[in-house]
Amino acid sequence: MKKIIITCCAALSMIGATSCGDSFLSVDPPSSVPIDGYYVTEARLMEAVTAAYDPLHWYDYFAGWAPLNLVFDSMSDDLYVGGGNTGDQGQIHLISQFRSDPINTIGGAWTGSYSGINRSNLVIADVEEVEGLSEADKNKYIAEARVLRAWYYSVLWKLWGNLPFYDKNLTFPYITEQKTAKEVYDFMEADLAEVLDSKVLPMKREAEWAGRATQAMAAMVYVEYVMYQKDESKYAKALGYMKDIIASGQYSLQPFENLWETEYEWSAETIFDINFIAKGGKRDWGAAQAAGGTVLPAMIGIDGLKGSPDYVSGWGFGTIAKEAYDAYDTNDKRRDIGILNIEKYITDNAAKGITVEYGGRYQNTGFFLRKYLGRIGGNDGAVASGDLNWDNNLRIYRYAETLLNAAELALRIGDASAQGYMDQVRTRAGLSSVPVTLDNLLLERRLEFVGEGKRYFDLVRFGKAAEVLKAKGGKVLENGQYTKDGIPERVQWTENKKYLPIPQSEIEAAQGTLTQNPY
């Protein structure tokens, strides 16, 4: 969406809605113009569309801190919350411990998701008011908003399950029926299938609109719902959508080492990213909704880092588990491209005459998520806080996941294509073929997506969560030695831990219409 900013600013300045100094990420109609009768041109409709994408950035830093990959993977065996101690972003620590609190929780993720749903619904409603818009174009805008709405609901559904649900915006007193996780799934599966089968969205956007919803994104969201629900009746249909992406030829695996450098963003592997932009970034302390970059590289940055010719020091969150690093074969390209082994990095630089040092905060392992580490110059051009305005997109769906989804679905229904799909991913990593089994696929996904927010949900849907996510678990580095109990406060995962407690503020605001999740 780097291109969308320029395009929308030009359109908005022509109609006097805002100036190019204001980002498309916070476009609002002037207060002097009533909402009724405002969205009557396609240019104005684009304001509503861009506003619907805005909440994608709020998980990162808004009403609390909740970068999705950090929150999701902190519940797995791949990543520790870290920081200063368990009180530092305590709400995420509680989630990682399976002791989540309905008061001290990631309420901003709940609010941000529903804001995205609300704005997506507005686009669907506003389309009908636009003068002179063809039926075909109306259908494209509606489909785009439905896909975006489905993605926002997927965040809520995976985290909280049983949700206040609506597909048309509410009126006073703004209370709606709570749907079970199964009821939410049934609606979203049918809604996405209708969008996909209409084929009104392009499989891939042209470069100037990179970042907007596509047929491929819709397919990935659909498959995510179906696979997490373990809806075997839809596996064949889901596989068909993955095969459509593959057969289109519009996406492909790219060199793994390039995927995490900002100059290679929007490559042929990208199906959907949350876009962040450092240049001109106005995000600041007290201005979380301002347009700009991401805080993630600062959060996961190596604490006390000195002398590095490559990376910038950060706050020490999101350290990678030693067990995750050790899961790789030594010749797997993904290991040292995706994860930074700080001791190896120090030794390698010492051989060049460069002295590198670092600190080591709570839950330090010596392994850091290189995928999103802040590179030197990675927040150049920010006009507000450098820590809050890094230029790294958050990867949501990549073509590698399309292939591994296809491999798994094919295996589960007995389609012979499974082996070939997994082999493509392993070949890119520099590895030979292994038999395509469910256990090997689970491991392959771990190796491919470490730190990308996939592992926890994979463990749950593969039925491995109770086996893997034991109390305490893991090892951390203390006084030069790895010691047990990386998360001392963690309790054993059980099925009741699948859904977080609904924020207490929402329970109270719903006036008795919401039932709290058993946790």
Note whether residue 368 is domain-resident.
no
Note whether residue 292 is domain-resident.
no
Note whether residue 188 is domain-resident.
yes
- Separation CA 282–CA 24 (nearest Å): 12
- Residue 346, classified by CB atoms within 10 Å of its CB into exposed (0-12), middle (13-18) or buried (19+), is middle
Q: Where are the alpha helices (DSSP H) in 414-513?
A: 418-428, 438-449, 455-461, 465-468, 504-509
User: Hey, what are 20's tokens?
Assistant: 């190019």
Q: What's the pLDDT tens digit per position in 428-451? A: 999 999 999 999 999 999 999 999
Instruction: Give the per-residue pLDDT at 437.
Output: 98
Give residue 184's domain range. 1-51+106-201
Q: What is the dihedral angle through the alpha carbons of 254, 259, 261, 264, rounded to the nearest 10 degrees? A: 40
- Separation CA 192–CA 189 (nearest Å): 5
Whether 315 contacts 332, CB under 8 Å: no
The maximal CA–CA distance of the chain, rounded, in angstroms, is: 70
User: Which parts of the chain have pLDDT scores under 50?
Assistant: 1-31
Note whether residue 194 is domain-resident.
yes
Instruction: Give the per-residue pLDDT at 79.
Output: 98
Note whether residue 17 is domain-resident.
yes
For 2-24, give one letter per residue: b (16+ CB within 10 A) or e: bbbbeebbebbeeeebbeeebbb
Can you state the percent helix, strand and coil of the chain, rounding each to 5?
45, 10, 45
Note whether residue 347 is domain-resident.
no
* Closest CA relative to residue 110, chosen from 66, 150, 74: 66
Instruction: Give the per-residue pLDDT at 33.
Output: 60
Rg of the chain taking only CA atoms, in angstroms? 22
Instruction: Give the per-residue pLDDT at 328.
Output: 98
What domain count does the chain have? 1
Instruction: Give the per-residue pLDDT at 86.
Output: 97
Instruction: Give the per-residue pLDDT at 36.
Output: 77
Q: How far is CA 276 from the centre of its chain?
A: 13
Q: What's the pLDDT tens digit per position in 60-106? A: 988 888 999 999 999 999 999 999 999 999 999 999 999 999 999 99
- Identify the CATH number of the domain in which residue 190 sits: 1.25.40.890
Whether 12 contacts 6, CB under 8 Å: no
Note whether residue 253 is domain-resident.
no
The three-state secondary structure class of 477 is strand
Report pTM.
0.93
Instruction: Give the per-residue pLDDT at 96.
Output: 98
Instruction: Give the per-residue pLDDT at 32.
Output: 53
Note whether residue 4 is domain-resident.
yes
